[in-house]
A and B are shown apart, each in its own frame.
Chain A
């Protein structure tokens, strides 16, 4: 529920509640006032009736009025105080009961006790009260509607900055290097929010840049010493003063340092993928990458006497970073070739929305949970880094591709679905 709807509903229910009580209270207070007025009028009337009776010797001229009635009955007994009451009287002409206010009192005129009752119709005042309350209701409803409309409109204006901020946060991308420019607001809360957000994004950005810098520095700092080690070892090899045993030791050291540098650059690549430092994206053709790759791996494929079966739907493309696309496919294919058996099969399938690489290999399904872990190695290839599928998985996670492993018909199948929505 939007905040605006919420506040509107609150406002509406509370105001209706208050209005209901207000109307009831108003009605009673009005009623009281009216009764008071009528009472006073009847008081006057009473005096005038008594006066008239005294002057006219018990003959009272009644003014012909449907609003008023006076009933005088001679009674015995002592007089009492004035009695006010409401009563219904049947109207013969209109055939309905009408509300009357009654004042009853005893008066002694010429030594004769009279019970006098004055009735005054409340019809008119009742109508008045009803119409007043009606008018009030209409006014209140109009007021509430106007308030709601004004509130809505002004909220729109006030919240505009907020929605602008939300939209900007939503679109904010550290990699685009865009300025995080929020609108200024004269509402203190929003100004505060924007200020806090600005500081926060600034801090995140700085942290991110630091991290990025760190990865780059780490790469540089480690690769340079490695470059020195490698080049010095290479020079040492040229010196030609060593025996075979020494050469062997040197060769081992040389190879180890090369492997170390490969580890290093691969780990940095993984970190970079995690940091989403490959924002560039365009349509990439897996077919083209595969063609070059298979050419490059030709020696390896031929030495293992692999049968390569290509089932490639032509002109399929996928939207992603070209370098990562290459890394993805290279790692998948290399993996499939390396873990293959001599004379085995390598099936490469490319469709509109998927890429599947299947290969023969050890007749045992692999552990799905461990497969994509870093440094997980099958015992058959101690030389592999154990990072290839970790890279594959990271890239897939980055783009939301689905990667799955299956073992069927003696083939290890790795399938990547890259258009889930289609």
Chain B
């Protein structure tokens, strides 16, 4: 997947690239509005990560420009502004997701993956990883063609793990993905543990290898290596 990252904070965009790279993505980074416009004119991207506050313009204007030219591209807005207006505006003019800084890289990656699935298979796709098969549209998961009995949260957990396979996922990142702002991180760690325990048991029961590794005190890793 070809991704354009428009983020004026160089260190942050570097971190994003580093996290995404080596996953079959082709990342390009620009730091200003002007550069972004130039890139959009010249090349085609599957997905864009847009910061709203750019030194020479607004990321929202960039999205409007894309929509005006009818360029189909997945858009994830990242912004330091956690105001509802901005969020609504961003989503209304055609962004797919709105992440507030600071965000977890795993979260960004999961969103990118879901956009990728949507645009590459028109949504009706299957996600296959070794013996695991997911049908994201129907929220169903299979192991060796046997359907897993999962709660909504457990399913989300599995999808999140698969999107970020081989990466250490922090508990805070998991908590935010599963519950958003509604639960404070510290409160949720016990439930994460419970959900993971259930998910692992279900996977093992259906004959799946034990991919979920606990990294003590830190988080988890969906290790398929």
Contacts and interface: CB of A to CB of B under 8 A. Distances in A.
Task: In the A-B complex, list the 3 residue pairs whose CB atoms are closest, starting with the nearest.
Answer: A383-B186, A227-B102, A231-B15
B127 to A, nearest CB: 22
Interface string A230-258: 11101101101000100110110011011
B72 interface: no
A295 to B, nearest CB: 9
Interface stretch (A81-89, A95-103, A216-224): A216-224
Interface of B: 9, 11-12, 15-16, 18-19, 53, 78, 80-84, 100-106, 153, 167-168, 170, 172-173, 179-188, 190-191, 194-195, 215-219
B153 A299 contact: yes
Contacts of B101: 223-224, 226-227, 261
Given A226-B102, A383-B184, A383-B186, 8 more contacts: A224-B9, A234-B15, A238-B168, A299-B183, A300-B183, A300-B191, A334-B183, A338-B184
8 contacts: A226-B101, A227-B12, A227-B101, A229-B102, A231-B19, A231-B102, A232-B15, A248-B216
Interface string A184-227: 00000000000000000000000000000000100111011011
Contacts of A330: 181-182
Contacts of A247: 215-218
B81 A234 contact: no
Contacts, number: 130
A14 B115 CA distance: 86
A268 B100 CA distance: 14
Contacts of B82: 219, 223, 265, 268-269
Contacts of A384: 184
A155 B70 CA distance: 63
Contact of B188 (A221, A237, A238, A299): A299
A28 interface: no
A385 B11 CA distance: 29
A297 interface: yes
A255 B188 contact: no
A323 interface: yes
Interface of A: 216, 219-221, 223-224, 226-232, 234-235, 237-238, 240, 244, 247-248, 250-251, 254-255, 257-259, 261-262, 265, 268-269, 272, 293, 296-297, 299-300, 303, 322-323, 330, 334, 338, 383-385
Contacts of A223: 80, 82, 100-102
Contacts of B190: 303
B79 to A, nearest CB: 8
Given A231-B16, A247-B217, A248-B217, A238 B167 contact: yes
Contacts of B181: 330
A296 B216 contact: no
B213 to A, nearest CB: 12
B186 A238 contact: no
Nearest to A234: B105
A231 B215 contact: no
Contacts of B195: 299
Contacts of B216: 244, 247-248
Nearest to B186: A383
B53 A220 contact: yes
Contacts of B188: 299-300
Contacts of A269: 82
A235 B15 contact: yes
A248 B218 contact: yes
Nearest to A333: B182
A317 B84 CA distance: 21
A27 B48 CA distance: 101
A323 B218 contact: no
A224 B19 CA distance: 18
A234 B191 contact: no
A228 B182 contact: no
Given A237-B218, A303-B191, A251 B170 contact: yes
B182 A234 contact: no
Contact of A228 (B9, B84, B184, B187): B9
A384 B186 CA distance: 8
B111 to A, nearest CB: 15
Contacts of A232: 11, 15
Contact of A219 (B81, B104, B184): B81
A296 B191 CA distance: 12
B172 to A, nearest CB: 5
Given A228-B12, A297-B183, A234 B194 contact: no
A223 B84 CA distance: 16
Contacts of A216: 81
Nearest to B9: A224
Contacts of A303: 190-191, 194
A250 B218 contact: yes
A244 B106 CA distance: 21
Given A228-B12, A231-B19, A296-B182, A251 B194 contact: no
A293 B183 CA distance: 10
A220 B80 contact: yes
A235 B19 contact: yes
Contacts of B170: 234, 237, 251, 254-255
A219 B80 contact: yes
Nearest to B16: A231
